[in-house]
A and B are shown apart, each in its own frame.
Chain A
Amino acid sequence: MFFHIILERNMQLHPRHFGRDLRDKLVAKLMKDVEGTCSGRHGFVVAITGIESVGKGLIRDGTGFVTFPVKYQCVVFRPFKGEILEAVVTMVNKMGFFAEAGPVQIFVSNHLIPDDMEFQSGDVPNYTTSDGSVKIQKESEVRLKIIGTRIDATEIFCIGTIKDDFLGVISDPGATS
C-alpha cells in the first residue's frame, strides 16, 4: 500500500556547498540518499514529493560539516499481510516462484500454487496446468495475495499465495508470443 507521509532526516552537508544553492544542494542530496531506500517502519521510499521545512544548521565540531534537520514529504510503499498485489515473476524453481512488485520481493511456495499446476523443469522452468492453458514462468505477471511479511531494518520480504479466487496469472508472455 502506498502512503504519502512526512519524514524527517538530519542531512550533513559539506561546507563547499554553502552558498546561494545551499537549499538545492540539500534537496538533491536528500533525494539521492533517501529515494529507493527501505525502512522497516515505513517501507520503501518511492519518491520525495516536497520539502516541508529545513531547520537551522548545526556546525559539527572539528569537521566543518553542518547538520540540517529536514522534513520532507514522500511516497512510501509498504506491503501488508492480506494485501493483493500484481507482480512480475522473476524466478521459478521447484519450490515455487519469486516475483517483484516494484521494490518488494515476494516468494510463492509451490503449495500455495493451485494444485492443478505442475512444475516443469527445463530451459524455462515454469508451472503449467495439465491442459497447458495457464503457465507461470519468468516475466509472467501474476496477481497474488500477501500472507506473510518479514520486515527487517533495511529489507522487506513477503510470501504470497495465488491459491485463491481471482489470483494467478494475469498475462502470459509465452502465450501471446
Chain B
Amino acid sequence: MSIEPFNRLVKLAARAFYDDITKGDNPSKNTRSDNRGIAVVVLDALTRRQWVREEDLAKDLKLQTKQLRRTLRFFEQEKLIAVDHRKETAKSAKIYNSAFNDNNNYYVHSANGNGNGSSINNGGNGMGDDKVKMHTHSYCCLDYAQIHDVVRYRLHRMRKYLRDQLDDKNKIQEYLCSDCGKKYNALDVSRLISMEDMNFHCERCNAELVAEMDNAGEGAGEGDDNARKRSREKYNDMLNRMEVQLKPLVEQLNRVKDLAVPELGSLQAWEARALAAARAANGGSGGDPRANQGFGTRMPFVGEPKIEVAISGVDDTGGSIAAQNGNEPIKVLPPWMIKQGMKLTKEQLGELKEEPMDGSLDPLGSSDDKKKAVTEPEDSKHVQEEFMKAYYAAYIKREQETTVAASDAHLSSTERLVGEKSKRGDNDDGEDVEWEEEAPVDENTSGNFKVDLNVEAGVSEEEDEDDIDWEEG
C-alpha cells in the first residue's frame, strides 16, 4: 500500500482546485487575514501526516487554530478529510503531544522515578482529576479513498457541464411561425397543439410552426446566433484549456486507478495500530540506552476508556535493575490486555508502568508492594480474565494473611521483590506507573521504599481498601 502516488494526487488536486479558495463566509471583512493558498499548505501538510490533532497542526503550520479549523471544516465539507472528535484530559493531550510529535511513532515519555509534581498530583487525585479536565479535541487526516472519488467526480462534473453547454443540452427548444414570424418555446406547446394533425400551430395565423435550428443562421435573430456562437466558442475553449491544464492531475488519477487506496482507518484503529507498532519498535530496541535512562514509552489513549501505558524505567536509585529491564525484550501487548488495562487505569488515574507485559496488571500503589510481591509471581502466569478472578481470590486470601504481619512484611518486602519476575507498585515516587508488566522494576528493590503517593497513608487497612477498589474497577 503505497501512499506516495496518492499524496501526489492530493497535492495536484490542491493546486488545481483549492489554490484560490478563501475560507470564511465574509472574506471581504477580514482583508487583513488573506488566507489564499492556505488550503494548499494545509493539504500538503496533511500528506506528510496521518491522524493529527488540529492544535498540533496549527502549531506546526504557524497558523491560528481558528483559521486552520475553518480551513479544515471546509475540507471536511469537501469530503477530503476525515475528522474525529474526542474528549480528553489535559494530561492525555500532553501525552499525545509527546507521543505523536515523534516521527518514529516511537512514543517516548520520560517517566522517571523521581517524578515531577504534576504526575504526583495526578496520582493523588485519582479519577476525579480525569473527569474535571476534559477537553474536546479534534483530529483529522486525509481520506484518500474519498479524495480519489471526489476528484474524479469533480472532473466528471466539469466536463459534463461544458459538454452539455456545447450540446445545448438543456436548451429550451424554440419554435417559429413561418408566416408571421412569431416565436414560441417548448413551454408554450401545450396550447399550440392542433387536434387535427397533432402538430404545433401558430396562435395568430394557425400556420404550422417549425423548430428553430441552432445552425439556422439565416432568418430572424442573427444577433442571437452570434451570441450563441460566441458562447459555444467560449465553452469549447474552456473545455480545451481544462484538458490541458488538468492533464497532470488526470494522469495521476490514471496512475492511481488500480492501486490499493491507503486506508488509515478510524482514529481509534489507527492509534491502536500505532500503539502496537510502537511496542514492537520498543521491543526491538530493548537495549536502547534510553530505556536505561529511565525513559518510558507512552501510548495515547485508545477509545473512551483511557489507557495510558508508560514504560517507566528505573530511577537513578534502581539503576541496576533498570539495566536488567532494558535488556529484556518487551512483549507486544495483546488486545485483551489493553481493555483490561483501560479499566484499571481508569480506576487508578491512569498512570501505568509498562514493561514487558506478562499479563499481570497491577495498578496498585506501591504501598501494597509487599502484598503484591507475594502474589505476583502467580499473576504473571495468568492470562485474561480467568487470571483476574484467580488473582483476586489469591490476593484476598493473601491479604488476610498479610494484614496480620503487615508491618513485618513491609520491611521485608524489598528483599522479596528483588529478582521477582513481576513486581508491581514500584511507584515509589507516586510516579506514573500504574501498570506493571512482567518484570517491572521496583525501586523498592534498591532499598528505598517509599510510600505510594496514591495512598494517603501507608496503613495496611487502607491498602486493603485500595486493593478492593481496584478489583472492582
A-to-B contact residues, CB < 8 Å: 91, 93-96, 98, 105, 107, 109-112, 125, 147-150, 157, 159, 161, 163-164
Contact = CB atoms under 8 A, between A and B. Distances in A.
Given A109-B211, A111-B211, A161-B169, A94 B189 contact: no
B199 A94 contact: yes
A112 B173 contact: yes
Contact of B187 (A94, A125, A159, A161): A159
A44 to B, nearest CB: 15
Given A91-B198, A93-B199, A111-B211, A157 B190 contact: yes
A150 B187 contact: yes
Nearest to A160: B186
Contacts of A94: 199
23 contacts: A91-B193, A93-B198, A95-B189, A95-B200, A95-B211, A98-B190, A105-B190, A107-B186, A107-B189, A109-B186, A109-B189, A111-B173, A111-B211, A112-B169, A112-B173, A147-B170, A147-B172, A148-B186, A149-B187, A150-B187, A157-B187, A159-B187, A161-B169
B406 to A, nearest CB: 75
Contacts of B186: 96, 107, 109, 148, 159
Q: In the complex, which of the residues A105, A110, A150 has the most CB atoms of chain B within 10 Å of its own CB atom? A: A150
Given A95-B211, A107-B189, A159 B172 contact: yes
A162 B450 CA distance: 84
Contacts of B211: 95, 109-111
B214 to A, nearest CB: 8
Given A91-B193, A98-B190, A148-B172, 11 more contacts: A95-B175, A95-B189, A109-B173, A109-B189, A111-B171, A111-B173, A111-B211, A125-B198, A148-B187, A150-B187, A161-B169
A109 B175 CA distance: 11
Interface in B118-169: 168-169
Contacts of B199: 93-95
Contacts of A91: 193, 198
A93 B170 CA distance: 20
Contacts of A98: 190, 193
Q: In the complex, which of the residues B187, B188, B199 has the most CB atoms of chain A within 10 Å of its own CB atom? A: B187
Interface residues of B, number: 18
A94 B175 CA distance: 13
A86 B209 CA distance: 28
Contacts of A157: 187, 190
Contacts of B171: 111
Chain A interface mostly helix, strand, loop or mixed?
strand
Contacts of A93: 193, 198-199
Nearest to B167: A163
Q: In the complex, which of the residues A107, A110, A125 has the most CB atoms of chain B within 10 Å of its own CB atom? A: A107
Contacts of A149: 187
Contacts of B209: 95
Contacts of A112: 169, 173
A62 B273 CA distance: 86
Interface in B172-196: 172-173, 175, 186-190, 193
A137 to B, nearest CB: 13
A98 B199 CA distance: 12
A96 B187 CA distance: 13
B108 to A, nearest CB: 56
Contacts of A109: 173, 186, 189, 211
Interface string B187-219: 111100100001110000000010100000000
A161 B190 CA distance: 16
A164 to B, nearest CB: 8
A165 B209 CA distance: 30
A157 to B, nearest CB: 5
Nearest to A165: B160
A93 to B, nearest CB: 5
Contacts of B200: 95
Nearest to B213: A111
B190 A107 contact: yes
A65 B348 CA distance: 81
Q: Which 3 A-B pairs have the closest CB atoms?
A: A109-B173, A150-B187, A159-B186
B213 to A, nearest CB: 9
A111 B173 CA distance: 8
A49 B211 CA distance: 44
A91 B199 CA distance: 10
A147 to B, nearest CB: 5
Contacts of A148: 172, 186-187
A128 B457 CA distance: 94
Contacts of B187: 148-150, 157, 159
A148 B185 CA distance: 11
B61 to A, nearest CB: 40
B78 to A, nearest CB: 22
A96 B170 CA distance: 15
A12 B171 CA distance: 46
A144 to B, nearest CB: 12
Interface in B196-246: 198-200, 209, 211
A112 B200 CA distance: 17
A163 B169 contact: yes
Contacts of A107: 186, 189-190
